[in-house]
Structure 1
Amino acid sequence: MTAQLIDGNVVARRLQDDIQQQAAAFEEKHGYPPGLGVILVGADPASQMYVRMKRRACKRVGLHSAAIELPEDATQEEVLAAVQQFNEDSKIHGILVQLPMPDQIDEEAVLSAVSLDKDVDGFHPVNIGALAMKGRTPTFTPATPTGCMVLIEEAGIDPSGKQAVVLGRSNIVGLPVALMLNEANATVTICHSRTPDASSYIREADILVAAIGKPNYVKANWLKPGVVIIDVGTNKVDDPSAEKGYQWVGDVDFEGAKDIAGAITIVPGGVGPMTITMLLSNTLKAAHRLAEG
């Protein structure tokens, strides 16, 4: 058995083509494109790279992007002022606060200050709360978990009635995707660093979302034959045989898993492209809501 490979690049390109067409129609109708405002605090190389990728993606699909970059020692007041600047800018429809932020910044306070109408990252406590409440629909859902759910659908899997295991409980991926799987009527187990014998839970999974940030943590003999694996992990490991001296691997041992799983995302190129695509989609949605009510 060889797993179906879930290529997020292919799915993302198709969705971005549609976003590009919708963005062009929006600009023709309103005279300006949908706009994304990005706030970056500090000079973390990974964060800077992510911001560049997101702004390039905006340009590719015809969205306007603007950035406010603040120094590592920026104060809480300065960051909140940047959020307010974008809140008040009628040409900015979505606001992305690049995480993590330096230790002196209260991230929760910053995320709470983002206008609900512009919370395209879906991290405002009201949106997260709505995600957790049965019968409530959040205005926006977080980009990476939403991308995970799209990829599960692309694999032809209906989560209803399935056993789903989420490995990791971060506010950014683990907890939101667990809530989404629950909403899709899966039976959800969350495993984390304090879970004894996580492998015993993973062995029962029909769907596994791995977001723990540990390279090749999940072993092939932990997997149920036919399991659908969404590997969110992107871990840099030394590899002298590679041209750059390193390679990127997921949280699941791909080489072992691909002969057992029914479907598995590639790393890199699986969940990553979907995160940016869902952010673009949310920004387009925000633009329509703000411009048309």
Structure 2
Amino acid sequence: MAARIIDGRAIADAALADLSVRTRQFRDETGHVPCLAAVIVGADPASKAYVQMKAKRSVVVGMTSRTVELPVSTTTEELVDVLRASSADPSIDGILLQHPVPGHIDERAAFDAISADKDVDGVTSAAFAAMALTGGGFESCTPSGILRLLDATGVELTGKHAVVVGRSPILGLPMGMLLLRRGATVTYCHSRTVDLAAHVASADVVIAAVGVPELIKGAWIKPGAVVIDAGYNEGNVGDVEYAAALPHAGAITPVPGGVGPMTVAVLLEQTLAAAVRAAEVRACSENHDSRVGPDPVIASDRL
């Protein structure tokens, strides 16, 4: 029997429809339109297309977006300055640094220049720590979106063996942390793992996030396993040998149309959440200021 196809577009569309309603309610109540700022370094066509797509989705759900395009010659220090300035701008609710950045830039330093309150992509060290330890803060968008796909598919993670193939700090690593928090037993693998086929064959859930076209062969998939392909390579090819995996998997995401749409949905949901938090902080501050009267008279002033 062929695998069930997990329709990421349909699941994301439902999430975005609900988000549109909540965004409109927030705008009506506060008068503030949530704003997502995207920063892109260089002129990579794929990165520019991703940013443009996210900007269009922002408008669809009733948000505004800004794009800051920086030349490929931008230094780490210059990028950090831009991100810190955006973090200090009260009109911006969420910040996305499109990755990857050019190789000469310290990507970790750039990510960590984003304020935790505006890290709606969940890329800072603080966000990773929260995901691993407390469950608070904003989650990495792609791993969080993958969990949403699993939930929508009815996958019970408690006690299941999940194999994450990939170890990037914004996808593979946080994915494993989120799965652990859901009660799964997690094995991390990567492109250099010895006998990768055996690890994959033991998995109830396979998360492919290594960025190597069709590295994971269909014949490796355990019968009935759930396969989530977060890879996106040239030619619309994922990290899983899709056609060969169909007869083995119980459910599988296509590429494209699987993980990508949910990543964007989570990004925008977290942007609204950031705007709501900022509005609550402003309201508390304004209420506090309104309660503060004139300076109290000090006893010694009467003498």
Q: TM-score range by the shorter chain?
A: over 0.9
Correspondence for 1:290? 278
| TM-score, length of structure 2 as denominator length | 0.90
Aligned residue for 1:248, secondary structure, equals: coil
Counterpart amino acid of residue 242 in structure 2: F
Shift in Å, 1:200: 0.4
Residue identity matched to 2:78: E
Q: Is the 8 A contact 1:228 1:263 kept in 2?
A: yes
What's the offset of the Cα at 1:214?
Answer: 1.8
Number of aligned positions between the proteins = 281
**Match of 1:232, as an amino acid?**
A
Give the counterpart of 2:148 among 150, 156, 160: 150
- Matched residues in 2 for 1:159 and 1:58: separation? 31
What's 2:230 paired with? 232
- The ranges of structure 1 where at least 4 consecutive aligned residues each deviate by more than 4 angstroms after the TM superposition are none
- Equivalents in 1 of 2:141, 2:248: separation in Å? 28
Q: Structure 2 CA distance, aligned partners of 1:89 and 1:159?
A: 40
Encode CA deviations 1:32-75: one digit per residue, 9 max, x unaligned: 21111111111111111111011011011111111211111112
TM-score scaled by structure 1?
0.93
Partner of residue 64, structure 2: 64
Q: CA deviation at 1:104?
A: 2.7
Does 2:76 correspond to 1:88? no
Bigger-Rg structure (1/2): 2
Consecutive unaligned residues in structure 2, runs of 5 or more: 282-303
| Cα drift, residue 199 of structure 1 | 0.5
Taking the aligned partners of 1:226 and 1:290, their CA distance within structure 2 comes to 44
Q: Which of 144, 156, 159 in structure 1 is aligned with 2:157?
A: 159
Deviation at 1:78, TM superposition (A): 2.2
Contact 1:8 1:273 in 2 (8 A): yes
Aligned equivalents of 2:13 and 2:69: distance in 1? 28
CA distance in 1, matches of 2:139, 2:260: 16
State the AA in 2 paired with 1:5: I
SS of equivalent to 1:15 = helix
Q: Secondary structure at the match of 1:229?
A: strand
Kept in 1, the 8 Å contact 2:206–2:228? The answer is: yes
CA contact (8 A) 1:128 1:138 kept: no
2:297 corresponding residue in structure 1: none
Deviations along 1:230-278, one digit per CA (max 9) or x if unpaired, are 0111122xxxxxxxxxx41211111121111110011110001111111
Letter of the aligned partner of 2:192 in structure 1? R
Task: Measure how far apart 1:30 and its partner are.
Answer: 1.2
Query: Counterpart amino acid of 2:215?
Result: Y
Tell me the amino acid that sits aligned with residue 252 of structure 1: V
Instruction: Report the alpha carbon displacement of residue 77 of structure 1 after superposing the two structures with TM.
Output: 2.9
Q: Provide Cα deviations, 1:117-160, integer angstroms capped at 9, x if missing partner.
A: 00101111111112222xx1231001001111111111111110
Once the two structures are superposed, the pairs formed by residues 79-228 of structure 1 within 5 Å of their partners are 79-133=79-133, 136-228=134-226
Displacement of 1:103 in angstroms is: 2.5
- Note the C-alpha offset of 1:3: 1.1
The answer on whether the counterparts of 1:228 and 1:264 sit within 8 Å (CA) in structure 2 is: yes
Is 2:40 aligned against 1:50? no
Q: 1:195 to 1:74 in 2, by over 3 A?
A: same
Which residue identity is paired with 1:209?
Answer: I
Q: What secondary structure sits across from 1:213 in the alignment?
A: coil
Q: Using the TM superposition, name which of 39-48 and 82-91 deviates more.
A: 82-91
Gaps of at least 5 residues in structure 1 are 237-246
Match of 1:281 in 2: 269
Which residue identity does 1:212 align to in structure 2?
V
CA RMSD of aligned residues (A): 1.1
Deviation of 1:81 (Å):
2.1
- Quote the Cα distance in structure 2 between the aligned partners of 1:119 and 1:215: 30
Name the counterpart of 2:301: none
> 1:37 maps to what in 2?
37
> Using the alignment, how far apart are the partners of 1:69 and 1:252 within structure 2?
33
Contact 2:131/2:137, CA 8 A, preserved across alignment:
no
3-state SS of the aligned residue for 2:22?
A: helix
